[in-house]
Amino acid sequence: MDPTSGYAFVGLENLHNDIYPLIDASTNKDLNQSGKVVLITGAGRGIGRAIALQYAHASVASIILCARTVPELDEVEASIKKINSSVKVTKFQLDVTNEDAVKACLDAVKKDEGRLNVLVNNAGTTEPWVPIGESKPSNWWNTFEVNLKGPYLLMQAFLPLLVETAKADGTTVDVVNISSIGALIVHPGVSAYQVSKLAVQRLTEFAAAEYGKLGVNVVGLHPGGVLTALSEGIASIREYMVDTPELCGGFTVWLTKGARTWLEGRYLSSTWDVTKLESMREEIVAGDKLKVKMVI
């Protein structure tokens, strides 16, 4: 793979395909994040579900599950309760592209919780993979609506509450925007998905620049090559879908444990070994690496 994709940034020997002890909240109690309120979009299945279950293992106070399909959320809630019955679960049937629905969700969270510690923008979609001239404009633009407008609307609505929480608690809060290695490569036929994910990564940098000093740590995260409902029907990439959703779940929980502000605004991959990543901290910060730039 093209080295500029960042795939092997930490070295091929330091890549993971599945969750491992350092980032597994079910066994590593150092990842405990009691008291936190976490909101996850696209939480009904796959990666979003795995993130929610890892936060249940981390003993957060409250998990707010958002998705378009309520029965899926019911199953995730039941799974959370099996892991940790003390975790409060709230479910919202939410279309992330609907401004009024996002505002209603914000109002409910402010009323019920009065705070938010972690926002995970995971909801996403992709259009049929065809060249631009063969694409259907409504499908192409819908990908932008979900992948870019969705995270924008969630951040636009919830960033003030996140800032209030950081100030009140004297701590750092987190926004994790699920990006993609697709943001950094060009694969013919995938223009809407890859351009929208590139835009999400740049939007992440803007949010970090605007809210980092206010206690909000914003990062973009590639979840790995996960076989999901979005990817399972795409034959050309199926052989690369070798990573488990639990890997991203664990990495996300690791990210929000402690104030990892040296990573703010950066692109990260769930496949990267966290010990190796931390050992590269000085190099990353000094070189202002893992940002969207032109190499000249």
Catalytic residues: 193, 197
Q: Are 14 and 272 in contact (CB under 8 A)?
A: yes
Residues pairing with 41 in the sheet: 66
Q: Which of 291, 86, 276, 136 is nearest to 208 (CA)?
A: 291
**Residue 222: how many other CB atoms lie within 10 Å:** 27
- 3-class SS of residue 204: helix
Q: Are 109 and 39 in contact (CB under 8 A)?
A: yes
CA distance 176 to 10: 20
Identify each DSSP E strand in 21-153 by its residue range: 37-41, 62-67, 88-93, 118-121
Q: In the structure encoding, which two tokens stand for residue 143, read together? A: 């990908």
Q: Which helix (H) or strand (E) holds 152?
A: helix 150-169
Quick one: how far is CA 2 from the chain centroid? 24
Q: In the structure encoding, which two tokens stand for residue 22, read together? A: 């350092």
Residues pairing with 91 in the sheet: 65
Q: Which of 265, 268, 270, 266 is nearest to 250 (CA)?
A: 270
Residues pairing with 15 in the sheet: 272
Amino acid 110 reads: K
CA distance 173 to 166: 6
Q: Which residues contact 132 (CB under 8 A, 6 or more apart)?
A: 140, 191
